[in-house]
Amino acid sequence: MEMLASLNLAELRDLSHRRDLDADEWTVMLLEWRRRELRARGPILMMLERWLHASPDKSYELFREMHLMFRPWVGQEAEAQSCWEWWTGADHARPAPTAHRRTPAAPPAWRLIARPSERSGRTGRGLRDESAMHRCGYLVGETHGLSLAARHALLDRFFTEALPGVIKAEYGDEYGAPWSEKRLRRMANFMEFNIERFRRQDPAHFGAAVEAWQADLEYLRARYHDGWFPFPWPRVTAAVAHDVLELELV
C-alpha cells in the first residue's frame, strides 16, 4: 500500500478510522502494525474488527489466525471468539458486501432521552446536570440500565460518529469532533465524576451503577486511549469522605 510508505503512529491512527477500505487494505495495515511492533491492544482490536467487517468471506478460522497473530497483547481464544460473535451474531449481523468496495449503510437515528426543564442548567462547579451521553441513551444501573454490550455499542457510536443536531445545539462544542481527544476526555471525565460522586452518596444504593461506570471507563481506555492519545487517563481511587474531586474540564 502506497499510503504506508512513510507511516507514523498518528497516520496509522487516522487510517484506522476509515470505513471505505477493503479487506486486503486492512490486512496490510494490520501486518504493518505487527511488523513495527506497535503494541496497543485497543487499536489492534478495532482494526481486526474493521478487517472482518470489510471481508467478503467471513471465515472464523481466518479471523482466528489474524487475531492470534497479535498475541499476547491482543488476547486469547475467548477474546477472539467474543469479537467474532459481536460482528457476526444474529443480534448484530452486518449485511453482506455487494461489492469488493462498498459505501457504509447510513447509521440508525439516535434515540434521545427527553430532558426535563429543571435539569437543563449547570451545577455550582460549572458541570452540566446531565451529560450528552445520557441524552443519547447511555443508562446504567439495575433498574433501567443497558446491558454491557448495549452500553459499549452506544459508547462506540458516541465517540466515533457525529452527534445529533439537538445535542450540538444544547452542548455546543463541549464534546469536540468524532474520534477526537476532546471527546474522549469529556466522556472519561464525566464517568470519573459520576463514579466519585455516587460512590460517596450511597455506595449500597448506587453500587451497580458505579460498577458499570468503572467497567465502561476501562473499556474506553483499552479500546480508544492506550496507544492513541497521550493525555493521562482518569484514575478512580477508593472513596474518602473528605476528599474533593478535582475534575479537569476541556
Reported pTM:
0.62
Q: Is the dihedral of CA 9, 13, 14, 19 positive or negative?
A: positive
The reply to whether omega before 116 is within 30° of 0 (cis) is: no
Q: Is 102 contained in some domain?
A: no
Residues 6+ apart with CB under 8 A from 80: 63, 64, 67, 68
Q: Is 173 contained in some domain?
A: yes
Q: Distance between CA atoms of 229 and 40, rounded to whole angstroms?
A: 11
Q: Is 167 contained in some domain?
A: yes
Mean of pLDDT values over 76-83? 75
Q: Distance between CA atoms of 159 and 13, rounded to whole angstroms?
A: 14
Q: 150-177: per-residue pLDDT in tens?
A: 898 899 889 988 899 889 888 889 999 8
Average pLDDT, the chain: 75
Q: Is 83 contained in some domain?
A: yes
Same domain, 144 and 208: yes
**Residue 230, pLDDT above cutoff 90:** no
Count the domains in the chain: 2
Same domain, 47 and 135: no
Q: Is 176 contained in some domain?
A: yes
The pLDDT-based confidence of 146 (bands split at 50, 70, 90) is: confident
Domain extent, residue 69, equals 2-92
CA nearest neighbour of 140 among 97, 89, 199:
199
Question: Which triple of cell numbers denotes residue 191?
Answer: 464517568
Give pLDDT, residue 70.
81
Q: Is 239 contained in some domain?
A: no
Q: Is 99 contained in some domain?
A: no
Same domain, 81 and 138: no
